[in-house]
Structure 1
Amino acid sequence: MGSSTALTELTMQKYQRMQTCADVQRRSAWRPPYALTTALELLSIEVPRISSKHRGLATTTIVAVPHANDKRHIVGVKVVVWPFPLDTVIIEGQFTCTSPACTWAMFSAYLELEELIVLADSMMRRDRRLCRTTIDALSLYLDEAEAQVRANKENGANSYLFRGYNKCRRALLLARAGTDSSMETRTRLVLLKYGLDCPQVNYPIFVGNNTRPIYLDLAYPEFKVCIEYEGSHHAGQWLNDARRRQMIEDAGWKYIQVTKLDIGNEAGEEALARRVAERIQEVTGKTVQLTMRQTTQQISDVRKLRRIPLYKRLKFEPLLPIIPTTQE
């Protein structure tokens, strides 16, 4: 709920990174685009969880070049080769970095599928000040990379798609625009892993006499069940959160609160999925069966994503409409 803290932190990271990049540019006239974690920080995009094998990405300045022959040695700068469309944007009129879509595709070689989904969501925040791209733009970039490889092959060159291309395609099936935090994304994926339908992201409802909507982090409007992630920044606003919860419950919603203690270990995540299933059972009066825990790879199978919605399987009349996503 809310992203003002994230905005402040990301803005601070951006200006810290700009200082580092300015130092690099004072020492060298070479101007390749900044990439990967350096690009994310310049773009004020939250950095995903990176495995220990690639931790170095977070501690150095990274630039990208299209060919290995373009590499140069600059102290404190890591150069990566990206022989695909090197789309760029300019930050504050002086720092060129890879575009959000290009940066996301480049990260596919370093991230697990789940974190690639988290990163895509982070680039499409509900807060317009932090929204950097769209599902369509991410998909278009993959199309352009594929077209480049196809053209190279037609010209007789050995050319292959980047290592994480298929991972990117899978990630787009589960990515959602309009999220507020990475933990909300991870919570959403947990529910899918236990066979529940994908909840709606930031579902708007009007309560009381309010003329402006309240946005529910995750919601099953067909059952009027919502899941709200409470981050550490909520500790100082517990009174407002309590009032918010009361208004939501007064409007007839089943409210499930989630914290970091519920996410990150299988026992806690299974318990969360069971809580959600139990609330749905209370509404419908029908048993909701969970599945064995599935992997992110399994839940991104397009066949599973096309299955009949739970409310139809339960023969339950939706209480509120479901808002279609761009992936549906």
Structure 2
Amino acid sequence: MAFDPRTPFQRRTAIDAGVSAKALRGPRFRLVLPGTYVAATTILTPLVRARAALLPYDGVAWVSHASAARVYDLPIPTIADEHVSVPRAGLRRRHRGVRAHVGRHAATRWVKGVRVTEPLMLFVEMAGMLTLVDLVVLGDAMVRRRLFSPQELVTFCARIDHKAVSAARRGAAYVRRDVDSPMETRLRMLIVLAGLPEPQVNLTVRDERGEVVRKYDLSYPEVKVAVEFNGRVHVLVPGAWEKDLERRDAIDGSGWRLLPVISSGIHGTPEQTLIRVHRVLLARGLPGVPLHLGDEWRAHFPGHADAA
């Protein structure tokens, strides 16, 4: 194949193509991974880095774990290094910046011209790298992208043999359809891990003619309580705040109680958020609400005041 510096290449490939070592260190090229380069005009996307990580493996490896999640453009926290998998341990190679795993399953598909772990197996792989809440955020996003359904995920995790299967099964049990954003997942998990009944996701309310009048992120329709995450759009988009106030007036007129939650109510003061939700659910008589909040949420939301 002709040498194309717009895609990742190894040092020896460039030298064989007539590019000097001095030129590789110059402004025409940039380092992707140790020993791997690309033209300086190429943007270092997750796909470019994944291709660079695969170069030493001559087609026997595939992109997996965090690198695969980044290629799929899924929401995960920052995780160091690129990650690839090979079918047996003897095929692993030592390369700085790349972690090689043994993936005997070889459950893969092609995405954007790169071989990557298929979605169900990727969820299990990530169960060994993520916290419970981050794993459910990932699962909800994968369902939203129609990579699999919640039931397909539960069934797959029930039969797979993998070192992270216990964490995968627990996370899969919390994955839901119709979740609009990672922050909605985090809010739902905060509520559930505190021992409160699980709210319904994305309830659609219709009028007597069947017309949709409103939707609620998280709700308890039995007692007409809705808990919603309000992002920065309510502040930054002109007119959004006014429309939100009009919507709240309509909700109040229908007997619903709306509990808005912002980012700091999840990351900074989650206990205050839980107390608000708990008090309203108790006051409205929702069955199954405990008299006292549980403590399991504290391990998953370390930004709370008690962490200090």
1:106 counterpart (125, 145, 149): 125
- In structure 1, give the amino acid aligned to 2:150: I
Give the deviation of 1:101 after TM superposition. Answer: 1.2
Give the deviation of 1:99 after TM superposition. Answer: 1.4
Separation of aligned partners in 1, 2:97 and 2:194? 44
CA gap 1:132/1:296 in 2 versus in 1, 3 angstroms: farther
Residue 174 of structure 1 aligns to a residue in which SS? coil
- Give the number of the structure with larger relative contact order, counting CA–CA contacts within 8 Å between residues 6 or more apart: 1
- Cα deviations by residue, 1:248-291 (Å, 9 ceiling, x for unpaired): 333321000001111135xx323222222332344349996542
- Cα deviations by residue, 1:171-197 (Å, 9 ceiling, x for unpaired): 222222221112212211222233320
1:71 counterpart (86, 92, 95): 92
Separation of aligned partners in 2, 1:203 and 1:96? 38
Considering fraction of residues, name the structure with more strand.
2
Counterpart residue number, 1:258: 261
Aligned residues: 255
Alignment of 1:39 onto 2:93: no
Considering fraction of residues, name the structure with more helix.
1
Give the deviation of 1:42 after TM superposition. Answer: 1.7
Separation of aligned partners in 2, 1:297 and 1:176? 22
CA gap 1:21/1:113 in 2 versus in 1, 3 angstroms: closer
Counterpart residue number, 2:153: 138
CA gap 1:244/1:105 in 2 versus in 1, 3 angstroms: same
Alignment of 1:191 onto 2:187: no
- Gapped regions of structure 2 (runs ≥ 5): 1-42, 301-308
Q: Is the 1:274–1:290 Cα contact (8 Å) retained in structure 2? A: no
Separation of aligned partners in 1, 2:212 and 2:193? 33
Separation of aligned partners in 1, 2:73 and 2:83? 16
Residue 222 of structure 2 aligns to a residue in which SS? coil
Separation of aligned partners in 2, 1:109 and 1:285? 36
Separation of aligned partners in 2, 1:132 and 1:70? 29
Separation of aligned partners in 1, 2:128 and 2:211? 45
Task: Give the superposed CA RMSD.
Answer: 3.3
- Cα deviations by residue, 1:211-244 (Å, 9 ceiling, x for unpaired): 3453211000011100010122443233333333
Residue 291 of structure 1 aligns to a residue in which SS? coil
Give the deviation of 1:34 after TM superposition. Answer: 0.9
- In structure 2, give the amino acid aligned to 1:137: E
The alignment's TM-score, normalised by the length of structure 2, stands at 0.71
Give the deviation of 1:144 after TM superposition. Answer: 4.1
Separation of aligned partners in 2, 1:91 and 1:37? 15
- In structure 1, give the amino acid aligned to 2:280: R
Instruction: Indicate the percent of aligned positions where both proteins have the same amino acid.
Output: 24
Give the deviation of 1:71 after TM superposition. Answer: 1.4
CA gap 1:213/1:144 in 2 versus in 1, 3 angstroms: farther
Alignment of 1:170 onto 2:166: no
- Gapped regions of structure 1 (runs ≥ 5): 1-13, 147-160, 300-328
Counterpart residue number, 2:242: 239
Give the deviation of 1:89 after TM superposition. Answer: 2.0
Q: Is the 2:84–2:101 Cα contact (8 Å) retained in structure 1? A: yes
Residue 259 of structure 2 aligns to a residue in which SS? strand
The alignment's TM-score, normalised by the length of structure 1, stands at 0.67
Separation of aligned partners in 1, 2:85 and 2:55? 18
1:309-320 equivalence runs, <5 A: none
- In structure 1, give the amino acid aligned to 2:92: K
Counterpart residue number, 1:91: 111
CA gap 1:166/1:241 in 2 versus in 1, 3 angstroms: same
Q: Which has the larger radius of gyration?
A: 2
CA gap 1:243/1:82 in 2 versus in 1, 3 angstroms: farther
